Amino acid sequence: MANNKTVLIKIKRQANPQSKSYWEEFALSWKPGMNVISSLMDIAANPVTRDGKPTAPITYDSNCLEEVCGSCAMLINGKARMACSALIDKLEQPIRLGPLSKFPVVRDLSVDRSVLFENLKSVKAWVPIDGSYDLGSGPRLTPEDQEAAYPLSRCISCCCCMEACPQFNESTGFVGAATISQVRLFNTHPTGKALKRERLAALMGDGGIQECGYAQNCVEVCPKDIPLTRSIAEVGGEVMKQAIGELFRR
């Protein structure tokens, strides 16, 4: 059955990291089940603005299309969220799409989120098992430990928590909630905890956990419902304990 419903989308565009941004508006034919990524695909198939001007297709990141890869985070009507799970029928129109504002724009809606990966490296967010010796099997994880770790392991590195955090900015250099939560995950792993002391040390001082103002915006936007404020409280307590211990050892 033909339909003549229209979807209006305004998109903030930027040709390269140095150029000025500008807005373009698109009018798409409504289809059942449309989401933001499928709308961007429709624009790519027919890159013409609402007033009939041919334009370049929109650049954006996406991969899994099922909220697993974390690549499609953007500002949708001003809120940081995943474009592949943002249903058009649930959004107020005209829908405004923009790149995450706290990360350098690569082009249009695609941003450089490498700061998160650098932050994860700085806290050694991994289980240290590399080496040339046969280490044998690791300690067993109890079902209780697995259950506690699972919610933390669901992080998709989307950076929505950092975008929403008032403390994540150049002046604080704050690592952000995702990194802190990964510290909690790896510090509770029976093999991963070998690096616990180093991870906690990396969160002390400027840009560390003390920068968190506990505004809780992070936990509200996390698409994977990760208990971020609980992670911040627990890791904060551990950092404090270690800092006091070091003071007395001097």
Instruction: Give the residue from 99, 109, 91 showing the smallest Cα distance to 44.
Output: 109
Task: Select from ligand FES, ligand SF4, none the partner in contact with residue 135, using the beta carbon and a kind-dependent cut-off of 5 to 8 Å.
Answer: none
* Separation of alpha carbons 121 and 156, rounded Å: 16
Is 160 a binding residue for ligand SF4 by CB under 6 A? The answer is yes
119 contributes a contact to ligand SF4 by CB under 6 A = no
Per CB under 6 A, the list member of 7, 58, 120, 177 interacting with ligand SF4 is 177
* Residues constituting the chain: 250
241 CB-contact burial (10 Å; exposed 0-12 / middle 13-18 / buried 19+): exposed
User: Left (φ > 0), alpha (ψ -120 to 50) or beta: where does 167 sit?
Assistant: alpha
Stretch that binds ligand SF4, among 95-103, 155-163, 188-196, 237-245 (CB under 6 A): 155-163
**Rounded CA gap, 182 and 125, in Å?**
6
Which one, 76 or 233, has the nearer CB to ligand FES? 76
Q: Examine residue 239 and tell whether it contacts ligand SF4 (CB under 6 A).
A: no
> What's the closest the beta carbon of residue 163 comes to ligand SF4, in angstroms?
8
C-beta of 157: minimal distance to ligand FES in Å?
A: 10
Pairwise CA distance, residues 81 & 59, whole Å = 17
**Judged by CB, which is closer to ligand FES: 82, or 111?**
82
Residue with smaller CB distance to ligand SF4, 160 or 202: 160
Q: What distance in Å separates the CA atoms of residue 92 and residue 88, rounded to the nearest whole number?
A: 8
Q: Is 161 in the site for ligand SF4 (CB under 6 A)?
A: yes
